[in-house]
Amino acid sequence: MKKSYLLLLFLLPVYYGYSQQKFKITYDQLKDYEGVYEYEKNTTLQIAASPKDTILYAIINESKYSLKPSEKDVFLNMSKEKVTFVRNTSSVITGYSSDGKTFNLINKKVNFPKEMWYPRLNASKDYQYTYQQPKKETDGLVTGSIDNTGLNKALLSEMMQKIVNGTYANVHSVLIIKDGKLVFEEYFYDNNKTKLHELRSATKSFVSALTGIAIDKGYIKDKNETVLSYFPDYTFKNLTEDKKQITIENLLTNQSGLDCDVSNPKSEGNETTMNYSDDWIQFTLDLPMIDVPGGKGMYCSGNPITLGKVIERATKMPLPDFAKQTLFKDLGIKNFKWNFKPDASSAETFCQVYLNSRDMAKFGMLYLNKGVWNGKQVVSKNWVEESLTKHSVVQGVNYGYLWWLKYITVDGVRYNGKAAQGNGGQKIYIWEEQNMITVITGGNYNAQSPSDELIQKYILPAFNKK
């Protein structure tokens, strides 16, 4: 099985725990390692020293992964694998090595803004939050005051103080839309209302929306069309009658039956292996069947990736272009980044979409309003309802069409939500009974995110019946 040592180096699931640190190093010494370095597949990564916690971080795209000092010029990642920095005869760092591979330093002079290390720069220890109503912009969102919404100002102030003091680390933004108005909008670190943020697997819910639009517009006949019929130019391994019967709906519900399950480390559809393969469609549809289509729900990123390619073939245009001409155009989303190339060139970007938090909130509003935005039916009402209805169970959670149907319990009261979510703490929650949208973005990659806890402790309690 193909294995990426650099991926393991920086991305392995975390919290193995470090033994007591024996090698001490100062912030000024750490800064000697800063710079832009070569990385896999002709890409780059950054190495930065944090003045906040005196830790060295590898930064891949927006994701930060800590490296702890072990000995001079040697650091350990969370799985205790070595990253060794290389120096020349003049003792100047020229690159780093791991597992026999060496990657060169490209640029030593990199400016890392101080804001990226602190939730709120220059916040005092006795920081007190003062609520401010979100400002109206030209993006189509209506703003309003939190007064008379039912939300608890005191709880939100407590939440803000705990984010700022680091109790809840790496929270990048928190937005709340209540009764159609954006009433709470806060950003942290170097994030702001215009900065694009990676959505990770929350991208899947956008692929679901685009599938519905493609069906609405007649590009795709219906959800029961077979997937393999869109790939007549491919020859697939492990071809069985069951595989031939996989439908578009099976991809939407993560019930393809393919041996692809992120919760099973022995699954042949290992996501890391797929990411470094030359063709993610070939990789996914080559997998053996371990269940019938429509059977067990198994979380498999290859399913929505394949669905994205189905949309491309049906519409005869790149997926981001189709989004730009339909969903994004209608929502007034003008600033986005989406490089949908399901091959090894996307190994570190995962074919994900990048949006700002306000546009994420608009997407949630679209589904809360049954597919309508500013009076226009962007996605059919039927598709929205089907998408937010239980069709399968994935990892013990009810699942719609690439939407999670989750609930959060607060002091014995159950709140039912519909979520688009991704690694790191990216959450777009629809709370139909409360007529509310919550958006949280974060940087807790491959780690436990506090996003749901923030909602459980500081947002939803306001609606408990007294």
Structure confidence at residue 13 as a pLDDT band (50, 70, 90): very low
CA 28 from centroid of its chain's CA atoms:
33
Does residue 19 carry a pLDDT above 80?
Answer: no
pLDDT of residue 466: 53
Task: Name the more confident of 26 and 23.
Answer: 26
Q: pLDDT, tens digit, for every residue of 209-261?
A: 999 999 999 999 999 999 999 999 999 999 999 999 999 999 999 999 999 99
Cα torsion 348, 351, 355, 357: sign: negative
Q: Are 297 and 253 in contact (CB under 8 A)?
A: yes
Does residue 342 carry a pLDDT above 50?
Answer: yes
CATH 3.40.710.10 domain residues, the chain: 120-466
Six-digit token pair at 319? 């997926």
Helix, strand, or coil here: 392? strand
Six-digit token pair at 101? 């591979």
CA distance 54 to 445: 19
Does residue 326 carry a pLDDT above 50?
Answer: yes
| pTM of the entire predicted model | 0.93
Q: What does the DSSP assignment read for 336-385?
A: -EE----SGGGTTTTT-EEE-HHHHHHHHHHHHTTTEETTEESS-HHHHH
Q: Are 432 and 418 in contact (CB under 8 A)?
A: yes
What average pLDDT does this structure show over 431-456? Answer: 96
Q: Are 405 and 397 in contact (CB under 8 A)?
A: yes
C-beta neighbour count of 144 within 10 angstroms: 17
Does residue 458 carry a pLDDT above 70?
Answer: yes
Q: Which of 343, 353, 392, 348 is nearest to 210 (CA)?
A: 353
pLDDT of residue 420: 98
- Quickly tell me which residue has 């920095």 as its tokens: 85
Q: pLDDT, tens digit, for every residue of 272-304?
A: 999 999 999 999 999 999 999 999 999 999 999
Q: Which of 391, 388, 377, 318 is nearest to 353 (CA)?
A: 318
Strand duo 74-76 + 82-87: pairing = antiparallel
C-beta neighbour count of 71 within 10 angstroms: 12
Query: Residue 40 carries which side chain, given as an amino acid letter?
Result: E
Q: In the chain, what percentage of residues exceed pLDDT 90?
A: 89
Six-digit token pair at 216? 């609405």
Q: What does the DSSP assignment read for 190-252?
A: T--SS--EE-GGGHHHHHHHHHHHHHHTTSS--TTSBSGGG-TT---SS--HHHHT-BHHHHH
What average pLDDT does this structure show over 158-180? Answer: 97
Find all residues with CB under 8 Å of 246, minimum gap 6, and list them: 226, 227, 228, 256, 257, 258, 293
Task: Name the more confident of 466 and 363.
Answer: 363
Does residue 445 carry a pLDDT above 50?
Answer: yes
Find all residues with CB under 8 Å of 143, minimum gap 6, and list them: 133, 134, 135, 136, 181, 182, 183, 185
Long-range pairs of 160-165 with CB within 8 A, sequence gap ≥ 24:
160/129, 160/186, 161/127, 161/128, 161/129, 163/119, 163/188, 163/454, 164/119, 164/120, 164/123, 164/127, 164/129, 164/188, 165/119, 165/123, 165/125, 165/127
Structure confidence at residue 465 as a pLDDT band (50, 70, 90): confident
CATH 2.40.128 domain residues, the chain: 5-112
Q: Are 131 and 137 in contact (CB under 8 A)?
A: no
Q: Are 326 and 138 in contact (CB under 8 A)?
A: no
Q: Which CATH superfamily is domain 120-466 in?
A: DD-peptidase/beta-lactamase superfamily (3.40.710.10)
pLDDT of residue 285: 98
**Class of domain 5-112 as given by CATH:** mainly beta
pLDDT of residue 450: 97
CA 439 from centroid of its chain's CA atoms:
12
Find all residues with CB under 8 Å of 303, minimum gap 6, and list them: 250, 251, 252, 254, 256, 258, 260, 284
Find all residues with CB under 8 Å of 210, minimum gap 6, and list them: 308, 311, 319, 322, 323, 326, 327
C-beta neighbour count of 410 within 10 angstroms: 16
Does residue 15 carry a pLDDT above 70?
Answer: no
pLDDT of residue 227: 98
- Quickly tell me which residue has 């309690």 as its tokens: 461
Per-chain mean pLDDT for the chain: 94
Task: Name the more confident of 22 and 328.
Answer: 328
Q: pLDDT, tens digit, for every residue of 386-438?
A: 999 999 999 999 999 999 999 999 999 999 999 999 999 999 999 999 999 99
Does residue 51 carry a pLDDT above 50?
Answer: yes
What average pLDDT does this structure show over 449-466? Answer: 94
DSSP β-bridge partners for residue 430: 418, 437
